[in-house]
Each structure stands twice: as structure tokens, then as C-alpha cells.
Amino acid sequence: MERPRVGIVGASGYSGMVAARLLMQHPYVDLSFCTSDKWTGDHVGARVGVPDPSHLKFVANARAVEASEGCRIVFLATSAEVSLDLAPKLLARGVSVIDLSGAFRLRDATLYPRWYGFPHHAPELLEKAHYGMPELCGAPPKEGLVANPGCYPTATSLALAPLLRAGLIEPTGIVVDAKSGVSGAGRQAKEAYSFAEVEGDFRAYKLLSHQHTPEIAQTCAVGSLTFTAHLLPVRRGILATCYARPRDPRATTEQMVEALRAAYERAPFVEITAPEEVTLASVVGTNMCRIGLATDGEVVLVLSAIDNLVKGASGQAVQNMNLMLGLDERIGLAGLHRSSP
């Protein structure tokens, strides 16, 4: 039986490269095209470090819609504005889209000018887009548009949402202090976010203006929260420390941990562990999310760690693709090996 064909637009960015690596080694799909203006004409396998007997070459970004002919799913590893332009064109051709940008994550179109800097001209797609966090939102439909979650919202929402849904923590006054490796700022990031500038340093960025703030609030169903992102002098990984107040001061750590375990009982990529074991080294290179919790009756402290490029981006996108195709969500992801942050 012919394998479903997939493609990637924007395959020379960090997330796009990881997506290409995962899809080229996936046993049940064929990667039929990758776009990159930077690497047009170069062999994809050579650029992403994967043997490729088909000798697939990068094509220009302008050929993305044309190249999607015959594809079941196309991954958009592009900026939000580019995704907003391309997704409707691909959907109109009957091609399903998994968008790794923030173009379709927020349900309220009026939030886009403030948080993304542009007006949203396809609000009808915000209503149709499935938010692709399978552990909290279920499997995506077999076709259509999937808004792949952001990296910080993935780490934070997986940590907080089950506790909020169970009524164990207050939905107000939540504080999230999250740290990411420099790849989280993107390959085209400003010089201040480059590894050479961050090495030996540690800084916060996008204070009170990070675009993932409303996404976390939406996913966790809270009116507001305080979110601060920091850049660590490492390449990859996110560690989020979330502070909340317990609804019942008598609730124990064991009760709250049990609520997390129950929520993720059938989630192969979430592991509940001791908070001291929530480390970057335990998740980088994998599609896993590690969560730990402690409470003293006054504060509930929840820690969460993911690889920002895998579970926080391309790995979760492949997980969504697997579910759209009716495959086991672990295919192409379960054998990933941990690597250095």
C-alpha cells in the first residue's frame, strides 16, 4: 500500500530541521518535499544529517503550494504571518496542515494585534483549528488544520491543566517562571539571543509581552497569569516552574500527584516523577514531558521539563500526524535518545 506523502515548508529553521529528521526516518510516511530559500537545491539528508537514498532536494519557499500536490499533510515550520497566508491555500487544495507557528492557536482573533503584531484575516479558521495537544485536547481529526502548541505552553499546560480541572489549585494568581535553551528563540533570532551572547549569562526576555502568555491562559482556562521566559546558556530544553495556591490547604502532595498520574495514565509521553528528577538532561532529545510536584499547604509548586524542539515543536507535530493517520502516536518517536542540553 502506498504510504501517505507529507511535506515541510520552512525546513531550514530549527523546528523544520528536526521535523525533517523525524519524517525522513518515519516508517509509514514519505517525505516528498522540503522548502528552504537558504538551501534551495541542496540535499535534505546531507543538511539534516540523515541518510537519504531518494536524494530529496530543497525547493524554494515560493513553490510550497505547488509542491504540496499529492500530499496528505503539510507541516508549516514558518513564521505566524507566513503560516496565515499559506494554510488557507493548502486547505483549499484538500491538503491537511499542521502549523508549528502561533497563527491559529488563539481562538480570539482580536488578540493577534497585541500579541503577534498583525491582524488576523482568517478568523473562521481559528474556530476550525484543532489545538494539537493530545494529552489535554484529544486526538486531532483525520483531516483539516492542526495548530501545534508552542513550547512554553506545552510544558506549562501539561503541568497545570489537570490540577485546575480537578479543582485542586486556584485559577488566579498563577505564576510561571520558565527557562529555555537558546534554540527556543529561533534560528533567525536577534544577536542578543545567540549562543555566543548568552553563554555565561542568563536573562529574561519579552517581559509581560511574550506571545505564549494568552495561549497558556486559554489552554489552562484561566483568566490571566504571570508568565516570564528566560534564556539559558544551553542549546535545548525547557524547564518551567509553576507556582499556584491550593484550593484546600489540607490537600497533600500525594493527592495532587495522584491527580496528575490519573490524568496521564494513558499518555505515553508524560512521566510523573519526583520534582528533583525534572531535569533538562532527562528529556532533551526525546518527546517526553517530565512533571514533578510539591506543596506545603500554602504554595503548590509544579515543575515541568521538555525538549523545546521535540515535544515543544516537531515531535508533538509528528505525534499529531500519527493520530491523524490512525497510527500509534508513538511511531517514529518512542526510540528517540536523550542527548545533552
Active site residues: 151
Q: Distance (Å, rounded) from C-alpha 322 to C-alpha 328?
A: 6
Neighbours of 149 (CB within 10 A): 29
Ramachandran region, residue 138 (left: φ > 0; alpha: ψ -120 to 50; beta: rest): left
Backbone angles phi, psi at 164, to 5 degrees: -70, -45
Query: What element of type H or E holds 257?
Result: helix 253-263
Neighbours of 118 (CB within 10 A): 12
Q: Distance (Å, rounded) from C-alpha 243 to C-alpha 17?
A: 34
Angle at 282 between CA 28 and CA 154, to 5 degrees: 65
From residue 316, alpha-carbon distances to 135, 253, 284 in Å are: 11, 29, 14
Q: Distance (Å, rounded) from C-alpha 63 to C-alpha 7?
A: 12
Q: Distance (Å, rounded) from C-alpha 212 to C-alpha 214?
A: 6
Q: Distance (Å, rounded) from C-alpha 323 to C-alpha 332?
A: 12
Q: Is-contact 216 240, C-beta < 8 A?
A: no
**50 Cα distance to chain centroid:** 22
Of 215, 149, 231, nearest in space to 183 by CA: 231
Ramachandran region, residue 188 (left: φ > 0; alpha: ψ -120 to 50; beta: rest): alpha
